């Protein structure tokens, strides 16, 4: 198995401790990791791709082998373009596995030379999702257990702007 470059893709809207756990563990398995933010023309994320890149860059500062980028189009073609040998995905619950297995099979069908590796999320992060964190924060709840402090600060600021009454 080539350990040179793996891609960890996701929406990261915003990055949480669950994502960070996967990034930190993947960083010990591969020489280099690109955290790749998928940009969908039809999705309306809370944070722009540029903001999400900046947030992730700041929370992975302690890891020298991580870069952060955005991509559009098919993930597997982006991986080929980057000459990555592996896609990393985190699994929280069995429904994640069912979904991820189908995607992994489809990606392998398109480019069998690029494989997918699954890392189980730690149990304490099993229920976490970016939308859950956004939802709690949008009602003024405390999300400091779920996301790094600078992400929590960015959420408070962003939600103050987006929920501002005219």
Q: Which residues of this protein are in contact with ligand COA, per CB under 6 A? A: 9-11, 13, 16, 18-19, 22, 38, 74-76, 90, 92, 103, 106-107, 121, 125, 128-131
Q: Which is nearer to ligand COA, 58 or 118 (CB)?
A: 118
Q: Which is nearer to ligand COA, 43 or 165 (CB)?
A: 43
Instruction: In whole angstroms, give the CA distance from residue 65 to residue 68.
Output: 10
Closest residue to ligand COA: CB criterion: 18
Strand partners, 102: none
Q: Are strands 32-38 and 5-10 parallel, antiparallel or unpaired?
A: parallel
Q: Which is nearer to ligand COA, 14 or 165 (CB)?
A: 14
- Report the nearest approach of ligand COA to the CB of residue 67 (Å): 16
- Report the nearest approach of ligand COA to the CB of residue 145 (Å): 13
Q: Which is nearer to ligand COA, 80 or 150 (CB)?
A: 80
- Report the nearest approach of ligand COA to the CB of residue 14 (Å): 9
- Report the nearest approach of ligand COA to the CB of residue 165 (Å): 26
Q: Which is nearer to ligand COA, 9 or 148 (CB)?
A: 9
Nearest to 7 by CA among 68, 56, 57: 68
- Report the nearest approach of ligand COA to the CB of residue 166 (Å): 28
Read off φ and ψ for residue 159, nearest 5 degrees. -70, -30
């Amino acid at each position: 198995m080539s350990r040179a470059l793996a891609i960890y893709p996701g929406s990261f809207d915003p990055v949480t401790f669950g994502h960070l756990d996967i990034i930190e563990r993947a960083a010990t398995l591969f020489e280099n990791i690109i955290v790749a933010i998928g940009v969908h023309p039809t999705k309306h994320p809370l944070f722009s791709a540029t903001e999400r890149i900046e947030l992730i860059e700041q929370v992975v500062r302690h890891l020298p082998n991580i870069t952060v980028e955005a991509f559009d189009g098919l993930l597997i073609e982006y991986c080929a373009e980057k000459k990555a040998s592996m896609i990393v995905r985190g699994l929280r619950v069995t429904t994640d596995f069912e979904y991820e297995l189908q995607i992994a099979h489809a990606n392998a069908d398109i480019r069998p030379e690029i494989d997918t590796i699954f890392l189980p999320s730690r149990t304490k992060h099993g229920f976490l999702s970016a939308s859950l964190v956004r939802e709690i924060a949008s009602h003024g709840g405390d999300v400091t257990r779920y996301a790094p402090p600078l992400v929590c600060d960015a959420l408070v600021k962003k939600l103050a702007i987006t929920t501002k009454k005219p």
